C-alpha cells in the first residue's frame, strides 16, 4: 500500500527532508524573563482532520480554497493542474490505508495545546535572538510518507505520519539508521534545524571538509539555543550510547581528522563520508556513527562560543569563515584517561 501512496503524493509535493548523554538541567529549562516577554503567538491547526472529510473533487476544491497558503506552498496549487490536484486529494482522503496511517499519526499530536506551546516557546527563543523572525503559521498534515517537514517564512507543516515511531503500521522508506530519528521527540529538533537555515550564512565557494563541519555545527548550536531543554542526542540524532562513545573518544576522532589531513579536503566524496548520512564511519572506527563531522563541527562551534561569550547567536550565524571559528576556538580536545 505505501508505495502507490508515495507515488501519488510525490507527483504533487516537493520532496524536502530536512535534515545516553543528557546535557539538560533545570536552569536551562527555565525560560529567562527577557525571552518570556517576547511575543510569538502560535495557532497550531490540524489540517488532517478536515482533509479526511473530503469525498469528492468538489470537496477537495473547497479544502484548497479554505487553506490558500497551505495549498499554494505545500500542495503546490498553481503548479499542478487543478483537476489533477483535486482528484488526487479526493482519492487520497478516501484511501483506507492512508486513513489507517492517519489514525495512528493522530496519537503523535494528540495534545494539541502541548505541541502549540512547544512551538511557541521555540519561536520566542528564535525571535529573541532574531527580532525580525516572522512567526509562521503552523499546520499538521498526513503527507502519505512523502515529506516530513516543510518550512518557509510564512508556513511550517509537520507531517505527523513520519513521526509516529516504531509502532506505526507504515513507516518512511529510509534506512534504519535514519528511520530511528522518525519519532515524536524529533519533531522539534527537526523544526529548529529547518529554521536555522534561514540565518546560517555560508561561503559559497571553496567548500572544504572544515567549512561543511562548521556549517552543520552552527545549525546544531542554533538548535540547542532555541530548544534549551532538549538532549544532545535528539539534536544531533545519535543514540544515547553513540553520543556517550563520541564524547569519550572526542580527542581520538579529532586526531583522525588531523592525521588524515581531512580538514581542508575539497573532495565531495570524502566530505560526504564524514559529514553525510551513513550507518557508521569505519574509517575512524566501526562503532563511530555517521555524520560524525557534523557533531565535531558542533563541538568546535561550542568551544568558539565559550571562548567568546560576547558573541551573539545572530553574529555567529552571520560568520562565514570556518577557519577563523576553528582558530579562535582554540579547540584541542584532550584524551580521556
CA dist., res. 176 & res. 237, Å (int): 12
DSSP character at residue 162:
G
| DSSP structure class, residue 280 | E
| pLDDT, tens only, 292-336 | 999 999 999 999 999 999 999 999 999 999 999 999 999 999 998
Q: What was the pLDDT predicted at 208?
A: 98
Q: Is the C-alpha dihedral spanning 32, 138, 197, 220 positive or negative?
A: positive
How does pLDDT run along the chain (337 residues), one tens digit per residue? 333 333 334 433 333 333 334 455 556 689 999 999 999 999 999 999 999 999 999 999 999 999 999 999 999 999 999 999 999 999 999 999 899 999 999 988 899 999 999 999 999 999 999 999 999 999 999 988 889 999 999 999 999 999 999 999 999 999 999 999 999 999 999 999 999 999 999 988 889 999 999 999 999 999 999 999 999 999 999 999 999 999 999 999 999 999 999 999 999 999 999 999 999 999 999 999 999 999 999 999 999 999 999 999 999 999 999 999 999 999 999 998 7
- The per-residue pLDDT for 317 is 98
Specify whether the CB–CB gap between 237 and 183 falls below 8 A. Answer: no
Cβ atoms within 10 Å, residue 22 = 12
Cβ-contact 158, 200 below 8 angstroms: no
What the block records as the C-alpha cell of 205 is 565557494
Q: Which of 101, 120, 286 is nearest to 188 (CA)?
A: 120
CB 233 within 8 A of CB 21: yes
Give the residue from 155, 161, 219, 154 showing the smallest Cα distance to 187: 161
Q: How many CA atoms lie within 13 A of 324 on its CB side?
A: 7
Half-sphere exposure of 315 (CA within 13 A, CB side): 8
Stated pTM of the model: 0.91
How far, in Å, CA of 295 to CA of 220, rounded? 8
Question: Which grid coordinates are listed for 12?
Answer: 504533487
Cβ 17 vs Cβ 277: under 8 Å: no
Q: What is the chain's length? A: 337
Cα–Cα distance, 118 to 109 (Å, whole number): 11
Burial of 166 by CB count in 10 Å (0-12 exposed, 13-18 middle, 19+ buried)?
exposed
pLDDT at residue 66, rounded to an integer: 98
Q: Is 264 helix (H, G, I), strand (E, B) or coil?
A: coil
State residue 204's pLDDT score: 87
| DSSP for 14-45, written as a single string | ------------HHHHSPPHHHHTS-----EE
Q: What is the DSSP letter of 265?
A: -
Amino acid at each position: 500500500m505505501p508505495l502507490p501512496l508515495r507515488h501519488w503524493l510525490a507527483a504533487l509535493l516537493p520532496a524536502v527532508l530536512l535534515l545516553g548523554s543528557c546535557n539538560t538541567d533545570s536552569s536551562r529549562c527555565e525560560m529567562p524573563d527577557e525571552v518570556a516577554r517576547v511575543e510569538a503567538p502560535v495557532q497550531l491547526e490540524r489540517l488532517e482532520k478536515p482533509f479526511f472529510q473530503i469525498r469528492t473533487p468538489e470537496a477537495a476544491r473547497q479544502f484548497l480554497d479554505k487553506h490558500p497558503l497551505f495549498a499554494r506552498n505545500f500542495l503546490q496549487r498553481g503548479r499542478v493542474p487543478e483537476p489533477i490536484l483535486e482528484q488526487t486529494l479526493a482519492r487520497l482522503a478516501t484511501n483506507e490505508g492512508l486513513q489507517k496511517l492517519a489514525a495512528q499519526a493522530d496519537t503523535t499530536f494528540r495534545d494539541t495545546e502541548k505541541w502549540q506551546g512547544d512551538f511557541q516557546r521555540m519561536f520566542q527563543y528564535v525571535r529573541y535572538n532574531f527580532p525580525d523572525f516572522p512567526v509562521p503559521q503552523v499546520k499538521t498534515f498526513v503527507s502519505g510518507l512523502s515529506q516530513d517537514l516543510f518550512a518557509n517564512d510564512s508556513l511550517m507543516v509537520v507531517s505527523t505520519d513520519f513521526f509516529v515511531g516504531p509502532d506505526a503500521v507504515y513507516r518512511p522508506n529510509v534506512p534504519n539508521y535514519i528511520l530511528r530519528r522518525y519519532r515524536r521527540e524529533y519533531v522539534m529538533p527537526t523544526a529548529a534545524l529547518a529554521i536555522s537555515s534561514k540565518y546560517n550564512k555560508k561561503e559559497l565557494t571553496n567548500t572544504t571538509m572544515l567549512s561543511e563541519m562548521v556549517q552543520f555545527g552552527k545549525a546544531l548550536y542554533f538548535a540547542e539555543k532555541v530548544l534549551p531543554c532538549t538532549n544532545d542526542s535528539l539534536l544531533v540524532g545519535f543514540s544515547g550510547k553513540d553520543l556517550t562513545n563520541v564524547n569519550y573518544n572526542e580527542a581520538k576522532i579529532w586526531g583522525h581528522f588531523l592525521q588524515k589531513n581531512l580538514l581542508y579536503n575539497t573532495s565531495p566524496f570524502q566530505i560526504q563520508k564524514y559529514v553525510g548520512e551513513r550507518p557508521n564511519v569505519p574509517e575512524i572506527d566501526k562503532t563511530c556513527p555517521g555524520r560524525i563531522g557534523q557533531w565535531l563541527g558542533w563541538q568546535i562551534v561550542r568551544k568558539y562560543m565559550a571562548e567568546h561569550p560576547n558573541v551573539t547567536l545572530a553574529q555567529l550565524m552571520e560568520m562565514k569563515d570556518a577557519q577563523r571559528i576553528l582558530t579562535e576556538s582554540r579547540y584541542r580536545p584532550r584524551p580521556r584517561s
